[in-house]
Chains A and B, each alone.
Chain A
Amino acid sequence: MCLGIPGEIVEILPDQPDLAKVDVSGVRRNINIGLITDDDPQPGDWILIHVGFALSKIDEAEAKAAMDFLEGIGQAYADEIEALMESRIE
């Protein structure tokens, strides 16, 4: 729940600009991007996701580093990804 998970924006949903389709470890889910205001998120941007919301934009190297950290912590990350797979944010 406290973990920040990196994801890559695939598409901003045209009818709901606060939502983006995001690729997280090969899983595509809708994520709310309404808290990122400094510059508009675009497809190809990397974001750090907390419980369905992007809290910050990051670069690809940081995304890789965040992923290494998550893969290292084992069960907590497995649980978070499993929960994300069940998520169907609209």
Chain B
Amino acid sequence: MRYVDEYRDADKARALAASIASLCEPGRQYKFMEVCGGHTHTIYKHGLEDYLPENVTLVHGPGCPVCVIPMGRVDDTIHIAEQPDVIMTSFGDMMRVPGGRGSFFDSKAAGADIRMVYSPLDALKIARQNPDKKVVFMAIGFETTAPSTAMTVLRAKAEGLTNFSIFCNHVTIIPAIKAILDSPDLRLDGFIGPGHVSTVIGCRPYDFIAREYGKPLVVAGFEPLDILRSVHMLLQQLAEGRSEVENQYGRVVPWDGNLKALKVINETMELRPYFEWRGLGFISHSALRVRDAYAAFDAERIFEIPGSRVADPKACQCGEVLKGVLKPWECKVFGTACTPETPIGTCMVSSEGACAAYYNFGRFTRERVREATRG
């Protein structure tokens, strides 16, 4: 328990842990998935798993947008970047992600003009400053970042810019959760729902999980106590035979989400028939593309896109990690061939990935616990 002691509300955490333990039925195993990579960070950083009863397991979900982008889309982005007069822009998180032909950094070193930006609005500024270039923003992320891309497209249209487009790779969280629920690989007892995504979509879209699958979901904040409280709320529902959507993060997440954000996404983007996810394969209606009315800002209509399909490296088990079937340390190459310095898979590249989080924080906790047990 000493790892939680480092946290300033250790007394509250201890009380919660005792209450969590008392809610567990003896002999029953509980498995909860935290969907969001931010939660995975908190869990490893504060050693929360060591703090839960042994029969409660937390598994990591697909909520790291960099991690779920298939290698083919990385190659397609590089293909666009190599076209004449193109400036490709991307969030820094994407720069080291390996595609079949190397990463954005490799492509940049080979002469392509690929620039890191903090915001799609920074990409828009590059377009204004370079009227003789075609500026493309490689848009990724769940519903947390999709409104920003949508607002930027609206702004580009309002300004009459003709040299700005987006290569849209936005994905949506609900179909991914549904794919995991429908997968035979994993039996889950409930979900710790994503905090920031829910700020945009609200809590209602999760209703089907409670209603049709009979699993509770609690939208959670990012502090250690938030996670422990959410686990407590999930166990309480199970103990009372309920399956509902509850909001532990109500201080930030409104029940109906951010209506303006939803409106601008819907104005500029629509669901694709299907999209490939790393590890999860093709999922119907799981990603967004630019609507016809904004075709002038859609890189997929301005450039010829190869539509590359690249199989993940054989040694890489990111797919299993993203589905929650494997823990990071159970992957064959974790920490040996695959490290943050020389990543093979996306879960180790992205600082939000489960493998990077575990590599940076979790393994030390486990080692210390192992040593303590030995002593």
CB within 8 Å of B: which residues of A?
A: 1-4, 32, 34-37, 48, 50-53, 55-56, 58-59, 62, 65-66, 68-69, 72-76, 79-80, 83-84, 86-90
Whose C-beta in chain B lies nearest to the C-beta of A72?
B45
A52 to B45, CA, bound (A): 27
Task: Report 7 cross-chain contacts, Cβ distance below 8 Å, ordered by A residue.
Answer: A52-B120, A68-B223, A83-B91, A84-B118, A87-B118, A87-B122, A89-B125
Interface bits B265-304 vs A (CB < 8 Å: 1, else 0):
0000000000000000000000000000000000000000
Contact of A76 among B116, B144, B200, B351 (CB under 8 A): B351
Give the Cβ gap from A68 to chain B, nearest Cβ, in Å: 7
Number of residue pairs A-B, CB distance < 8 angstroms: 127
Give the Cβ gap from B36 to chain A, nearest Cβ, in Å: 8
Complex contacts, B251 vs chain A, CB 8 Å: 58-59, 62
Give the Cβ gap from B79 to chain A, nearest Cβ, in Å: 22
Tell me if B28 is interfacial: C-beta within 8 Å of chain A: no
Whose C-beta in chain B lies nearest to the C-beta of A69?
B222
Contact of A87 among B37, B38, B119 (CB under 8 A): B119
Complex contacts, B252 vs chain A, CB 8 Å: 48, 56, 58, 62
A81 to B200, CA, bound (A): 23
Interface bits B258-270 vs A (CB < 8 Å: 1, else 0):
1111001000000
Interface bits B330-371 vs A (CB < 8 Å: 1, else 0):
000000000000000000000110000000100000000000
Give the Cβ gap from B144 to chain A, nearest Cβ, in Å: 6
Contact B144 A2 (CB under 8 A): yes
Tell me if B247 is interfacial: C-beta within 8 Å of chain A: no
Whose C-beta in chain B lies nearest to the C-beta of A65?
B223
Contact A56 B258 (CB under 8 A): yes
Q: Top 7 closest A-B pairs, CB basis?
A: A52-B119, A76-B351, A87-B118, A83-B118, A1-B91, A89-B121, A53-B148
Give the Cβ gap from B59 to chain A, nearest Cβ, in Å: 19
Complex contacts, A56 vs chain B, CB 8 Å: 199, 252-254, 258
Q: A55-B200, A56-B199 are in contact. Are A79 and B351 (CB under 8 A)?
A: yes
Give the Cβ gap from A12 to chain B, nearest Cβ, in Å: 17
A36 to B193, CA, bound (A): 23
Contact A3 B38 (CB under 8 A): yes
Tell me if B41 is interfacial: C-beta within 8 Å of chain A: yes
Give the Cβ gap from B123 to chain A, nearest Cβ, in Å: 10
Whose C-beta in chain A lies nearest to the C-beta of B93?
A1
Q: A52-B119, A59-B251, A76-B351 are in contact. Are A4 and B196 (CB under 8 A)?
A: yes
Q: A2-B352, A55-B147 are in contact. Are A86 and B118 (CB under 8 A)?
A: yes
Complex contacts, A90 vs chain B, CB 8 Å: 121, 125
Give the Cβ gap from B14 to chain A, nearest Cβ, in Å: 19
Contact A1 B147 (CB under 8 A): no
Whose C-beta in chain A lies nearest to the C-beta of B115?
A86
Whose C-beta in chain A lies nearest to the C-beta of B360?
A74
Whose C-beta in chain A lies nearest to the C-beta of B352?
A2
Q: A66-B222, A69-B223, A89-B125 are in contact. Are A55 and B119 (CB under 8 A)?
A: no
Complex contacts, B92 vs chain A, CB 8 Å: 1, 79, 83
Whose C-beta in chain A lies nearest to the C-beta of B353?
A76
Contact B199 A51 (CB under 8 A): no
Give the Cβ gap from A64 to chain B, nearest Cβ, in Å: 11
Complex contacts, A75 vs chain B, CB 8 Å: 351, 360
Complex contacts, B147 vs chain A, CB 8 Å: 35, 53, 55
Tell me if B145 is interfacial: C-beta within 8 Å of chain A: yes
Tell me if B151 is interfacial: C-beta within 8 Å of chain A: yes
